[in-house]
Amino acid sequence: MALSSPIVLQAASTLAIIGTVGLFAVFLSTTAHIAARNVLGDVSVIKAFGVGPIPAVISVVAQALGVPAVVSLPLAIVADGAAINYFYGESRRITAYITVIHIVVTIIIGTVLFGILTIAMTAPGG
């Protein structure tokens, strides 16, 4: 896309956008809680629900605006780390560790769920 090209958004209903952001935020909150429990032990799930929506909104908005993943992914990861630091109040080292674990857990669980969905959608007789 040239710099002088107008930004064209995909036509989608408001409900579809809110649903996408909401489901992605719940997924990222769940994986953030798993990561924080892995590192810190017993932590409040409420803190994770503050972490999840931030990278979810960044990801969906970046996708809607056509921002390349090479730009939006580091931005979402930095925002995720900042949210983890804010909500859990740990040192930078522990925050970085939780953020890395969050990325790993998100990739693993996301891959498994995508695989299950793919198998279910391609199953014969369905």
| Structural domain includes residue 5 | no
Evaluate whether residue 7 is within a structural domain: no
Q: pTM of the predicted model, to two decimals?
A: 0.83
Would residue 2 count as lying in a domain?
Answer: no
Domain contains 104: yes
> What local confidence, expressed as pLDDT, does residue 1 receive?
47
Per the structure, the count of domains in the chain is 1
| Residue that the structure tokens 């429990």 belong to | 37
Using one digit for the tens of pLDDT, what is the confidence trace for 77-112? 999 999 999 999 999 999 999 999 999 999 999 999
Q: How confident is the model at residue 8 (pLDDT cuts 50, 70, 90)?
A: low
Q: Evaluate whether residue 28 is within a structural domain.
A: yes
Residue 8 lies in a domain: no
Distance CA 55, CA 80 (A): 6
Let me know if residue 9 belongs to a domain.
Answer: no
What are the structure tokens assigned to 3, written together? Answer: 């710099």
Whether residue 26 is contained in a domain is answered as: yes
**How many CA atoms, within 13 angstroms, populate the side-chain half-sphere of residue 109?**
16
Structural domain harbouring 39: 14-122
| Mean pLDDT estimate for the chain | 89
Instruction: Kindly state the tokens that stand for 15.
Output: 């409900």
